[in-house]
Amino acid sequence: MKWSNILIPLIVASVLSIAGLVSCSKEDENQLDNGDIKIISFTANDTVLKAWMDTATVVMTAKGQNLDYEWSCNHGTIHGSGDTVRYMAGECCVGLNTITCRVFNDSSSVSASLNIRITSYYFPK
């Protein structure tokens, strides 16, 4: 048996396999159409806060063009604007609270929510 009988088909198969991998490459998932918005992450530096004492920094990271941010919460107070805000709550807000951020531009809108637990200043658990 000659080496060329094994080597040539092996080389041809390797070249075809590489060509197939290159031609079937996946589209770039981070590429967005005009107006599209993609949330990359939505985080808080702390998710358990003591009433009146602690604050959390909440950050929305999104991709898109001409982005605006709208923040809301079911209890507590949000300070700041843009992609990063501070959240705090008083004794009346003890329990699980929801913070929502809506990211929008002229043609699209997305939103995400996260929960922060407020514990009592007077009756810590």
Rounded mean pLDDT for each run of 10 residues along the chain, 125 residues in total: 55 52 45 78 97 97 97 98 97 97 96 97 78
Pairing of strands 38-44, 109-119: unpaired
CA angle, residues 76, 53, 119, in degrees to nearest 5: 65
**73 lies in some domain:** yes
Quote the domain boundaries for residue 102: 38-119
How many structural domains is the chain composed of? 1
Closest CA to 103 of 85, 83, 86, 84: 83
Question: Helices (H), strands (E): how many in the chain?
Answer: 1, 8
Predicted local distance difference test score (pLDDT) of residue 21: 44
Q: Does a structural domain hold residue 47?
A: yes
Instruction: Give a yes or no: residue 94 inside a domain.
Output: yes
Q: Is residue 63 part of a domain?
A: yes
Strand order in the sheet with 95-104: 48-50, 109-119, 95-104, 68-73
Inside any domain, residue 110 = yes
16 residue type, one letter: L
Residue 9: the pLDDT is 59
For residue 15, is it within any domain?
no
- In eight-state DSSP terms, residue 26 is P
Is 68 a member of any domain?
A: yes
Assigned domain for 12 exists? no
- Structure tokens that stand for 72 in this block: 């809301």
* pLDDT at residue 74, rounded to an integer: 97
pLDDT at 6: 58
CATH code: domain of residue 106: 2.60.40.10
Both structure tokens of 112: 């995400």
